[in-house]
Amino acid sequence: MDYLISVYSFLVGYIVPFLIVLTLVVFVHEMGHYLVGRWCGIRILTFSVGFGPEIVGFNDRHGTRWKLSAIPLGGYVKFYGDENAASAPDFDAVSGMSDADREQSFLGANVWKRVATVAAGPIANFILAIAIFAVMFAIYGKPVADPVVAEVQPGSAAEEAGLLPGDMITTIDGKPVLTFEDIRRYVSPRPEVGLVLTVDRDGRMIEIPIVPKRAEIEDQFGNKMEVGLIGVVTDASVANFRRQELNPLQAVGAAAGESWFIVARSVGYIGNIIIGREKADQLGGPIRVAQVSGQVATLGAAALLQLAAVLSVSIGFLNLLPIPMLDGGHLVFYAIEIVRGRPVGEKAQEIAFKIGLSLVLMLMLFATWNDVTMLFG
């Protein structure tokens, strides 16, 4: 009986939230491809949420097979003339088509229609994220606090640099600071990187060089991460904690800014990994997404919906990376085709797709290794 209760708790606590979040994000991504592809006159053979064997499905009046598949780790839209779910072109099949059929194939569509169809998936992810964030900002507003220092922690970078209680940080590296959260967001991804703070101290503007210290912190669920800290704290006595109400237009603007922050942080993290400034242990796969989904679900539906927005931005960004097999790789081929005036050769595309498949598989294995290491120490 205890075993059954444990299984039930695991399913409800982790698997169900994971499937809700991932299915929403994947469905919207593939729907972007589907809608624009249909609008461009390209025949669509399959719309699948998940990979592998079909669990349930149906054919619509346009001949598209809509299905739910057994492995819930993604999805795909298969166009007429595609060789596989990764949209690798079937050159032999397309070359044997009649002119009428070829016009309905993905490969036979003009390059701008292919660009629009491929780009529509990541764009749909960004639109979903902005919509979710905008609704949240419109309903709940935006919690803000003035960027005023209430306390300087002993032994911190702030103490060494000479920051004092009462200082108001107005810019970092010349970029405006409007809220205390702006400080955290700028400093956190820059451990051991020299910054310049502009501080308003009793009406005098002072420039203070500072180097955030690298520190390991835990979130409320015990997940650990390394961040940059300067060691300043604020409180209600100086920071004017408040909830900023936003009208619909302001909410959309704030939502776009939130989505852009996630993209910029992702780009910065990858760049820091390349130059050796950060570890790659924060790259996670399905196991970590499931774990985080279960943890966030305990905070309520609104928090889980916001996680879906963050994941949607991340998947949109990931798919735009210039790796063959991903949407970004296809877009690189089309950019070359536009410049050259003719498509990339069949052999070159085949080799590129094999390399892309290897890279994606290695990334998945590495992310899964990180997940397993995280779980078992």
Distance CA 247, CA 250 (A): 5
Distance CA 21, CA 123 (A): 18
Please pick, among 30, 54, 207, 258, the residue that the annotation labels catalytic.
30
Active site residue 207: no
Please, what is the angle between helix 286-297 and helix 16-39, to 10°? 110
CA dihedral 99, 30, 270, 134 (to 10 degrees): 130
Whether residue 110 contacts residue 37, with contact meaning beta carbons closer than 8 Å, is answered with: no
Please, what is the angle between helix 16-39 and helix 111-140, to 10°? 140
SS (H, E, C) the chain: CHHHHHHHHHHHHHHHHHHHHHHHHHHHHHHHHHHHHHHCCCCEEEEEEEEEEEEEEEECCCCCEEEEEEEEEEEEEEECCECCCCCCECHHHHHCCCHHHHHHCCCCCCHHHHHHHHHHHHHHHHHHHHHHHHHHHHHHCEEECCCECCEECCCCHHHHHCCCCCCEEEEECCEECCCHHHHHHHHCCCCCCCEEEEEEECCEEEEEEECCEEEEEECCCCCEEEEEECCEECCHHHHCCEEECCCHHHHHHHHHHHHHHHHHHHHHHHHHHHCCCCCCCCCCCHHHHHHHHHHHHCCCHHHHHHHHHHHHHHHHHHHCCCCCCCHHHHHHHHHHHHHHCCCCCHHHHHHHHHHHHHHHHHHHHHHHHHHHHHHHC
Residue 7 token pair: 């299984």
Residues constituting the chain: 377
Residues carrying an active site annotation: 30
